[in-house]
């Protein structure tokens, strides 16, 4: 990778100002750096968070963070083998959490890891990459200059003010986002009436390594397995009458209510009582201002979606913003960030809202269902692998797709198999004799064109022309059956030994998939015709496209 691109003007100008160094801001900074753009990152807090907050890293998040190389450290620090143990009405059901045979991902599990650890790993990655986090520096407001740049006012730790000119401003500054306020972007929604108790603590009487869940008429109590900063995270609804600071006695009282005295809690290292909001920003982009993470959407923690959605906003935005900053892509590519990620944020809001209402509602019918129907039905329901698999697809975020986005080609394709806008499914393939994941083989700060079929399926001269025209933002690979490896034209070959890759892609000789830098398919053809891929690249890499051969 070449040296990161910096703003051309001297002084305190920068290409991208990221406000907020939570998981979203850290992931965005890492993605921009990976694509050769050095951002300026400021955070009002003088230190990173040390409490657990979000505690589940979803499979899709691990996939999109893998190109940074941080997934190994995340896996080493977390627990990927948690079980689900549900106690309801005196009955106990226990099942592996994600044991549903999802073989099209390297990460078929929910990784339990506290947000503090996830942020630490991302922070260490940035430090190694030389990206500085300016802590203790608060963003105050911005105005727009005549040349379109943003004049941003920052307040430093000693009360000193700095004026910074930025081409792009990204608000990763959480639910109360000052960037969002400054850009006058509405944040619609409200607050749930209930207050919740959270505590990171030790406990006795639990199944080790399992999500211990107690369901009852009064609502659920969860104890999630953590390593840091304490062995367990407790979460439950707080009775309306309790209003003071959270005490160990109150936590024990709630544990007794839910578990009938089976669980003893002790040694809390962090407690919190909070009300949950459900709100969404009306726009994720307003001119040169963009929003990501909690600044754009906040919802209930049901399903462990919050931090994950924020990190995936960052990954969706990172490559687009970097290509625009580097003059490779047109500004219109950034509109697709709002068009792709806002529907995802809104969907997460709806789905977490339903899950949240089902387990907390005071409605007498739902209370009766929770206390009398669920205990009987749940142990049977958990045995159905297909049902668990469907839930897994949604919760794991592997099913997210952007089929209606302007940044993917519309497809007339019918039947099964991934279409433009879908995530590229993963499979093991051989690359230079070594077994690797397909997604990993294609990962890089560029688009990847995957040409399927045995030797002779493709016009080598046309393939080379295409590569030359879009260098350095296009890599080309061949996916060949096991018995016909062919490296003609210098295009690296991936050997589909088991046939799993071709089968998951529903690809045959003459299929081509153009994969975006975020692992979503931008264009697909199954008739050996390269012209659609050429048109797609000429549109979105207009700034680098070399002349078409005459």
Ligand X SMILES: Cc1cc2nc3c(=O)[nH]c(=O)nc-3n(C[C@H](O)[C@H](O)[C@H](O)COP(=O)(O)OP(=O)(O)OC[C@H]3O[C@@H](n4cnc5c(N)ncnc54)[C@H](O)[C@@H]3O)c2cc1C
Answer yes or no whether residue 306 interacts with ligand X by CB under 6 A: yes
Binder among 14, 17, 18, 19 for ligand X (CB under 6 A): 19
Provide, rounded to whole angstroms, the least separation between the CB of residue 301 and ligand X: 4
**Separation of alpha carbons 455 and 351, rounded Å:** 46
Mask for 167-206, x = binds ligand X (CB under 6 A): -----xxx---x-------------------x--------
> How would you classify the pairing of strands 111-112 and 56-57?
antiparallel
Provide, rounded to whole angstroms, the least separation between the CB of residue 96 and ligand X: 21
Q: Helix, strand, or coil here: 386?
A: helix
CB neighbour list of residue 188: distance below 8 Å, 6 or more residues apart: 279, 280, 282
Q: Which is nearer to ligand X, 198 or 349 (CB)?
A: 198
Contacts with ligand X in 308-327 (CB under 6 A)? 310
Whether the Cβ atoms of residue 312 and residue 423 lie closer than 8 Å to each other: no
**Separation of alpha carbons 156 and 159, rounded Å:** 5
Answer yes or no whether residue 43 interacts with ligand X by CB under 6 A: yes
**Separation of alpha carbons 529 and 76, rounded Å:** 44
| CB-count exposure of residue 327 (10 Å: 0-12, 13-18, 19+) | exposed
Provide, rounded to whole angstroms, the least separation between the CB of residue 292 and ligand X: 7
**Separation of alpha carbons 534 and 244, rounded Å:** 63
Answer yes or no whether residue 106 interacts with ligand X by CB under 6 A: no
Q: Which is nearer to ligand X, 53 or 370 (CB)?
A: 53
Binder among 61, 105, 212, 305 for ligand X (CB under 6 A): 305
Answer yes or no whether residue 307 interacts with ligand X by CB under 6 A: yes
Answer yes or no whether residue 352 interacts with ligand X by CB under 6 A: no
Answer yes or no whether residue 61 interacts with ligand X by CB under 6 A: no
Provide, rounded to whole angstroms, the least separation between the CB of residue 272 and ligand X: 5
Sheet holding 83-88, edge to edge: 91-96, 83-88, 210-215, 221-225, 232-238, 187-204, 264-281, 297-298
**Separation of alpha carbons 280 and 297, rounded Å:** 4
Kindly indicate which of the ranges 42-50, 63-71, 424-432, 483-491 contains the residues binding ligand X, using the contact rule CB under 6 A. 42-50
What is the token pair recorded at 167? Answer: 């081409």
* Cα separations in angstroms, 83 against 92, 174, 409: 13, 31, 40
Q: Which is nearer to ligand X, 156 or 387 (CB)?
A: 156
Pick from 379, 307, 350, 385: nearest CA to 99: 385
Kindly indicate which of the ranges 50-58, 61-69, 317-325, 485-493 contains the residues binding ligand X, using the contact rule CB under 6 A. 50-58
Answer yes or no whether residue 268 interacts with ligand X by CB under 6 A: no
Provide, rounded to whole angstroms, the least separation between the CB of residue 318 and ligand X: 14
Q: Which is nearer to ligand X, 85 or 299 (CB)?
A: 299
Kindly indicate which of the ranges 21-29, 66-74, 181-189, 283-291 contains the residues binding ligand X, using the contact rule CB under 6 A. 21-29
Positions touching ligand X (CB under 6 A) are 19-25, 42-45, 53-55, 115, 138-139, 172-174, 178, 198, 272, 274, 293-294, 301, 304-307, 310
């Amino acid at each position: 990778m070449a040296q990161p691109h910096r703003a051309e003007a001297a002084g305190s100008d920068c290409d991208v100002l990221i406000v907020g160094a939570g998981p979203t801001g850290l992931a965005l900074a890492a993605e921009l750096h990976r694509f050769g753009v050095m951002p300026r990152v400021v955070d009002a807090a003088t230190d990173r968070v040390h409490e657990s907050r979000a505690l589940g890293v979803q499979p899709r998040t691990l996939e999109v963070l893998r190109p940074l190389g941080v997934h190994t450290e995340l896996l080493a620090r977390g627990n990927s083998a948690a079980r689900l143990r549900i106690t309801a009405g005196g009955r106990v059901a226990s099942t592996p959490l994600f044991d549903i045979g999802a073989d099209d991902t390297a990460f078929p599990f929910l990784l339990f890891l506290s947000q503090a650890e996830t942020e630490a790993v991302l922070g260490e990655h940035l430090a190694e990459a030389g990206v500085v986090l300016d802590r203790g520096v608060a963003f105050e407001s911005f105005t727009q200059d005549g040349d379109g740049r943003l004049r941003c006012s920052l307040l430093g730790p000693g009360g000193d003010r700095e004026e910074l000119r930025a081409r792009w401003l990204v608000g990763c500054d959480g639910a109360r986002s000052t960037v969002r306020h400054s850009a006058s972007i509405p944040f619609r929604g409200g607050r749930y009436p209930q207050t919740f108790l959270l505590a990171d603590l030790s406990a006795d009487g639990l199944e080790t390594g399992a999500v211990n869940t107690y369901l009852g008429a009064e609502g659920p109590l969860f104890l999630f397995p953590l390593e840091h900063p304490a062995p367990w995270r407790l979460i439950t609804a707080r009775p309306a009458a309790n209003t003071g600071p959270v005490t160990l006695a109150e936590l024990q009282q709630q544990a007794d209510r839910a578990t009938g005295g089976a669980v003893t809690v002790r040694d809390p290292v962090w407690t919190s009582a909070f009300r949950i909001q459900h709100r969404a920003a009306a726009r994720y982009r307003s001119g040169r201002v963009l929003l990501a993470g909690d600044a754009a959407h906040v919802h209930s923690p049901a399903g462990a979606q919050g931090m994950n959605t924020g990190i995936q906003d960052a990954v969706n935005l990172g490559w687009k913003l970097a290509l625009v900053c580097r003059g490779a892509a047109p500004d219109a590519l950034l509109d697709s960030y709002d068009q792709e990620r806002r529907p995802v944020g809104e969907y997460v809001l709806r789905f977490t809202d339903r899950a949240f209402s089902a387990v907390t509602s005071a409605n007498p019918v739902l209370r009766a269902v929770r206390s009398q129907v669920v205990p009987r039905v749940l142990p049977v329901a958990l045995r159905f692998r297909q049902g668990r698999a469907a839930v897994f697809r949604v919760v794991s975020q592997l099913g997210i797709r952007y089929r209606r986005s302007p940044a993917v080609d519309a497809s007339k394709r019918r039947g099964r198999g991934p279409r433009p806008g879908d995530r590229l499914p993963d499979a093991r393939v051989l690359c230079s004799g070594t077994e690797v994941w397909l997604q990993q083989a294609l990962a890089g700060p560029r688009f990847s064109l995957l040409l399927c079929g045995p030797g002779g399926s493709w016009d080598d001269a046309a393939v080379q022309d295409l590569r030359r025209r879009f260098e350095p933002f296009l890599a080309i690979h061949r996916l060949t059956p096991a018995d016909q490896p062919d490296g003609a034209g210098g295009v690296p070959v991936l050997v589909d030994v088991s046939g799993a890759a071709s089968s998951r892609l529903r690809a045959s000789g003459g299929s081509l998939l153009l994969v975006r830098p975020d692992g979503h398919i931008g264009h697909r053809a199954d008739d050996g015709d390269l012209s659609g891929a050429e048109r797609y690249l000429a549109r979105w890499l207009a700034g680098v496209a070399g002349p078409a051969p005459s």
